Amino acid sequence: MATLYYNQSTPSSGSADPLRRSIEMRTLFSDGLGAARGQRLRKGSCASYPTRLFFSLPAILQATTQGWRASTGPCLYLHGHPPCILKSAVCGDIFISCSEMNALRMAGLVKPRGFARQVKATNSMAWRVMVFLLVALALNQVSRCVARAGEPALPKLKAETQAVFEHYVELAEARNEGELKRGTDLLWVDGLPEEQRAEAYAALKRGEVKMRKLEILENAKSVRCPGGMIHHWTGVVFLPGAKLADVLGVLENYDRHSAYYSPDVERSKIESREGDHFRVFLRFRRHKVITVVLNTEHEVQYFHDAPRKAHSRSSAVRIAEVENAGKRDEREKTPGDDDGFLWRMETWWRMEEKDGGVYVQSEVASLTRDIPKGLGWMIRPFVTDIPKESLTFTLEATRKAVEAHHADR
């Protein structure tokens, strides 16, 4: 199956054409993937098909008068549907989507004067094929990592990694306490230049969630975390027409968080409460190519700073990954000795009632396993998107829950 699929009935310059079975790849690597929807294809002897392209990886391709030749190995699929990685990725195959994959054309020598141009293009094309296959091989390795994401490839949470994260949290805590004592400019957008700040507040009142990636520096240098990755994000949302009591009524009602924050929170329960101090259980379900379920326990303390200001501090005191979630053989893995999707989580909330509503800001610092060397340049951006997406969802879900809570009052 390590061949190019094409229609052999496509007319060329004649049956005696010595390059009748050669494949013209210039459109694929230079001109794009065929004509855009609604446009006509160029006329000529080359036909265009919505077809599939099969490569074998690793492959050694040669352009000869006998056509393309490839070695056997894991397969790369190009198909006219949205991108996805099939279960075959476990065996090393890649399934890559291309919209209307019609760029593969069988070309013959139409005119003698075009022969030199086509021969010259073959050399350039060969280099493009080599580059394409190198990229595809890298993607093949990624697919293997994704398919085997549940396999423990890295050591468990080390004491050194945990100590670095705890030190990082101390630095973040000191910064938060200083800002709260100041009592003004409590939102991260308040620190922007005047014009940008005005634009940010206008966006918030339009219903947008304003996100920002944070990093605590020590002595003007990044904090290095061996064996782990620190993710630090903050976001703010505006809840028009809401009162501070409405927001606290949602955030403190942990028994209802599984409804407010579904599907990210699958189960929720208040285990104990003493005044403004809570101990709560939250079962998280995270889905990004693979699904991860985590049983977590949190210590949460609320502070009422002023009639229209409040903040809270939450620490995840226990995080356990759940294996075979929802099945009869469901079990918790030993905390810290798991796949490392979430080892630690610290959260800071701020609420301020003004401008006819409530501004809600949430800041989260979390610790996960590191990325294997050699694949970080490709996988790291993907991994770091998850904390941002989760926090964005949390703020949007908070706004919806408060709107519903406010409407019921």
Statement to judge: residues 135 and 173 lie in one domain: no
Q: Stretch 207-225: mean pLDDT, rounded?
A: 94
Last residue in a domain, options 147, 182, 216: 147
Statement to judge: residues 217 and 247 lie in one domain: yes
Task: Kindly state whether residue 12 falls inside one of the protein's structural domains.
Answer: no
Q: What is the pLDDT of residue 103?
A: 43
Q: What is the pLDDT of residue 97?
A: 43
Statement to judge: residues 135 and 172 lie in one domain: no
The C-alpha atoms of residue 126 and residue 71 are separated, in whole angstroms, by 16
Cis, bond preceding 263 (omega within 30 deg of 0) = yes
The answer to whether 232 and 213 have CB atoms below 8 angstroms apart is yes
Task: Kindly state whether residue 5 falls inside one of the protein's structural domains.
Answer: no
Q: How far apart are the first and last CA of the chain?
A: 65
Statement to judge: residues 237 and 119 lie in one domain: no
pTM recorded for the entire structure: 0.63
Statement to judge: residues 263 and 330 lie in one domain: yes
Which CATH number goes with the domain that contains 265? 3.30.530.20
Is the model more confident about 145 or about 404?
404
Cα three-residue angle 397-340-347, rounded to 5 degrees: 40
Confidence of residue 286 (pLDDT cuts 50, 70, 90): confident
Statement to judge: residues 193 and 220 lie in one domain: yes
Q: Tokens 């049956």 appear where?
A: 15
Statement to judge: residues 177 and 129 lie in one domain: no
Q: Stretch 296-322: mean pLDDT, rounded?
A: 96
Q: What is the pLDDT of residue 26?
A: 39
Residues spanned by the domain of 68? 23-147
Confidence of residue 1 (pLDDT cuts 50, 70, 90): very low
Residue partners of 145: CB distance under 8 A and separation at least 6 = 372, 375, 379
Model confidence at 137: pLDDT above 50: yes
Mean predicted lDDT score pLDDT of the chain: 74
Q: What is the 3-state secondary structure (H, E, C) of 146-161?
A: HHCCCCCCCCCCCHHH
- DSSP secondary structure code for residue 4 in this structure: B
Which of 201-205, 207-211, 220-224, 352-356 is predicted least confidently? 220-224
Model confidence at 395: pLDDT above 70: yes
Confidence of residue 109 (pLDDT cuts 50, 70, 90): very low
Task: Kindly state whether residue 1 falls inside one of the protein's structural domains.
Answer: no
| Domain total in the chain | 2
The C-alpha atoms of residue 35 and residue 104 are separated, in whole angstroms, by 12
Model confidence at 304: pLDDT above 70: yes
CB atoms within 10 A of CB 360: 26
pLDDT tens digits for range 71-106: 444 444 444 444 443 333 344 444 444 444 444 444
Q: What is the pLDDT of residue 46?
A: 42
Task: Kindly state whether residue 247 falls inside one of the protein's structural domains.
Answer: yes
Statement to judge: residues 386 and 255 lie in one domain: yes
Element (H, E) at 396: helix 376-408
Provide the sign of the torsion angle of the four alpha carbons 261, 264, 267, 268, taken in this order: negative
The C-alpha atoms of residue 7 and residue 146 are separated, in whole angstroms, by 35
Statement to judge: residues 141 and 201 lie in one domain: no
- DSSP secondary structure code for residue 75 in this structure: E
Tokens of 225: 């975390």
Q: Stretch 114-120: mean pLDDT, rounded?
A: 52
Chain centroid to CA 243? 34
- DSSP secondary structure code for residue 57 in this structure: S
Confidence of residue 371 (pLDDT cuts 50, 70, 90): confident
The C-alpha atoms of residue 45 and residue 255 are separated, in whole angstroms, by 68
State how far the alpha carbon of 238 is from the alpha carbons of 35, 78, 228, 312, 347, in Å: 45, 44, 33, 18, 19
**Interior/surface letters 388-397, b for 16+ CB within 10 angstroms, e for the rest:** bebbbebbbb
Statement to judge: residues 136 and 261 lie in one domain: no
